[in-house]
Amino acid sequence: MFLLTFILNLIQTSKRPHSIIIKPNKFEVDSNKGLVQVEINIVDEDGIPVLLTDNEITCTIKGSGKLLGLEAGNDRDMSNYNNNIQRVYWGKMIAYIQATEEKGNIEIEFYMICEFIFIAQTADDN
């Protein structure tokens, strides 16, 4: 008896960066310096990952947590990983958030500025 296995690889072309999808590895963290890893992915308006982008992401933390660092895996990036502003690499990044010893909620915000070019044409008067 033979077992046939098929593997389907699908390549989709993405549009321009539109949104940030975040995936934390957990939603509850120990208040004694527990750690949360948040995966960040850039997608287009249809939810397709945008791999060929290096958009700048800004992270802000409110509440009982602090940002340990943003890591995109780009070995050519020599910027400070503790900075709250970093560029994604291949449309991805990981944020490391640590709980402080205070009990309470941690509010994490990620945002990016998408650059769009708009060319206006004037109507001819003729």
The reply to whether 40 falls in a domain is yes
CATH number assigned to the domain comprising residue 64: 2.60.40.10
Considering Cα of 75, then 77, then 79, then 82, what sign does the dihedral take? negative
CB atoms < 10 A from the CB of 68, how many? 15
CA–CA dist 90, 73 (Å, integer): 9
Q: What digits encode the pLDDT tens for the residues 15-51?
A: 888 889 999 999 888 877 889 999 999 999 999 999 9
**Cβ of 57: how many Cβ atoms within 10 Å?**
20
Segment 43-58, tens digit of pLDDT: 999 999 999 899 999 9
Other C-beta atoms lying within 10 Å of the C-beta of residue 97:
20
In a domain, 66, yes or no: yes
In a domain, 50, yes or no: yes
Check if the beta carbon of residue 65 is closer than 8 Å to that of residue 106. Answer: yes
Determine the pLDDT at residue 86: 94
The pLDDT assigned to 1 comes to 64
Q: Is the pLDDT of residue 118 over 60?
A: no
**Does the residue 26 lie in any domain?**
yes
Q: Does residue 11 sit within a domain?
A: no
Residue 89: predicted pLDDT = 95
For the entire predicted model, the pTM comes to 0.78
Average pLDDT over residues 94-117: 85
Lowest mean pLDDT among 14-28, 90-104, 107-121: 107-121
What pLDDT was estimated at residue 122? 58
Residue 81 lies in a domain: yes
Mean per-residue pLDDT over the chain, rounded: 85
Q: Tell me whether residue 29 is in a domain.
A: yes
Range of the domain at 71: 19-112
Closest to 65 (Cα-Cα) out of 93, 25, 35, 37: 35
* Neighbour count for residue 106 (Cβ, 10 Å): 19
In a domain, 117, yes or no: no
Could you give the number of structural domains in the chain?
1
pLDDT of residue 29: 83
